[in-house]
Structure 1
Amino acid sequence: MTDVDEGPASPARPPRSRAVIAIVAIIAVVVAALVAFSIGRLTVASLGTPSDTSADAGFSRDMQVHHLQGVEMAMIIRDLSDSDDVRLLAYDIATTQAQQAGQLYGWLSQWGLSQAGSEPAMTWMTVPVDGATHAHSDEGHQPGDPMPGLATPEQMNELRASTGVDAEILFLELMIAHHKGAVEMAEAALDRAHNVPLLTLANGIVTSQTAEISLMESMLADRT
């Protein structure tokens, strides 16, 4: 990944940019701590190997796909936008979600499971929750359905063809929906999965992406 082209230095960042930097920095610290905690738990706990059809495996596969689209959307707007706050947010989303997708890939490899799986996408989210303390409703999902919040090919093409503020608005609208879908998937994993490091990551996704949703809603309000 190439370095961000910051352009000529400016005397001072506007309040919005400073706010974005502060929030992104907090999110980065939270994610780093969660990753470190997950790695530590892997070395001290014997958690067993998830099965091919487990929620742990299904979440790992589906969230990889979900995250990689998020990376693609972020890189598209990073190239289209001249706005410092949008470009900074996009860079953070791209780097964070690429790292997490790699972590999910690595877990499947460590468990000796296929990256593709034997069941349609979303099957794990349709499994009833037994004894969950924080059950979330996943009614309406069917095996093979599109993942929640995933942008359609038509929406991705529209984003690529957009320019200026219109591109920023469309990106924020699509990414807000994308983050809400990721939070829904992570909450479903918290109800169904059992691997402790994976649960830690899922909880981190809920926390960090909920914060980014609030930030993006504020950024969108400034543009509409």
Structure 2
Amino acid sequence: MTAPGSRQRTATVVLATVAVLLVGVAIGVIARIPLQRHTDAAPGAVDTGFCQDMSVHHAQAVQMAGLEVAGGSDPDVKRLAYDILTTQSNQAGRMQGWLQLWGKPIAAADGYMAWMTEPMSGHDHGTTHPMSGPVATMPGMATPQELEQLRNLTGPAQDTLFLQLMLRHHQGGLSMIDYATTHADTDAVRSLATSMRTTQTGESQLMTQMLTARQATPLPLN
């Protein structure tokens, strides 16, 4: 049987996450206005695919960050989690707003990352070869078992697991971010991907330092 405190904590996380996601969607609707007034290239497969897949990737980051905000013990880690929660909710809202404007579905129906069809340049990180087709799971995503473990932990143990999962999550998304930066047709998507790379690189460096201070090691990329 689930303890009352655990039920209350879970309900708080759900309500907080829903509230932030609603704000993100509202921002996404507002984000449609500049695109309507600005002449930009027509969105291609990369613009659409990136917005669809990165919205899903962001949704899990928001979920994990919400659990850390609710149950973590380290103020610095909780502050980082809150920053990730708000930033990625905002970005997901923008991407979903653009998809609505373009008349595209919110999510791809046949898997992920099939839009990454061109070889990446040597200085890019992550995937260096074109995808041969859609994949069932994007790099860096936490498994259901890992999410359940994060949900059940509290205090310093949760802080450490959150840092490990979120660092891997950031690292896993870099190949998509870098690909969109160089292959997207619209200025809006290229600009957003560039901003994501800057923000997440800084956050990854911080999380690596936090894990080192806790004598914990990063998780291998899945």
Short-chain TM bin: 0.7 to 0.9
Cα distance change of structure 1 residues 222 and 80 upon mapping to structure 2, 3 Å threshold: same
Task: Report the alpha carbon displacement of residue 117 of structure 1 after superposing the two structures with TM.
Answer: 3.3
Task: Report the alpha carbon displacement of residue 121 of structure 1 after superposing the two structures with TM.
Answer: 1.4
Cα distance change of structure 1 residues 75 and 134 upon mapping to structure 2, 3 Å threshold: same
Task: Work out whether 1:128 is the aligned partner of 2:121.
Answer: no
Task: Report the alpha carbon displacement of residue 189 of structure 1 after superposing the two structures with TM.
Answer: 1.1
TM-score by length of 1: 0.74
Match of 1:50 among 18, 43, 53: 43
Identity of aligned residues (%): 38
Task: Map Cα deviations across residues 123-169 of structure 1 (whole Å, 9 max, x no partner).
Answer: 112x1249x79665443855123111111111111111222211111
Cα distance change of structure 1 residues 98 and 92 upon mapping to structure 2, 3 Å threshold: same
Cα distance change of structure 1 residues 135 and 172 upon mapping to structure 2, 3 Å threshold: closer
- Rounded to whole Å, the distance in 2 between the matches of 1:221 and 1:135 is 26
1:103 corresponds to which residue? 94
Check the 8 A contact 2:112/2:136 in 1, yes or no: yes
- Rounded to whole Å, the distance in 2 between the matches of 1:145 and 1:57 is 18
- Rounded to whole Å, the distance in 1 between the matches of 2:69 and 2:43 is 37
Cα distance change of structure 1 residues 208 and 135 upon mapping to structure 2, 3 Å threshold: closer
- In the alignment, structure 1 segments of 5+ residues that lack a partner are 3-34
Q: SS at 2:51's partner residue?
A: helix
- In the alignment, structure 2 segments of 5+ residues that lack a partner are 1-14, 17-27, 216-222
- Rounded to whole Å, the distance in 2 between the matches of 1:60 and 1:43 is 17
1:149 corresponds to which residue? 140
TM-score by length of 2: 0.75
2:106 corresponds to which residue? 115
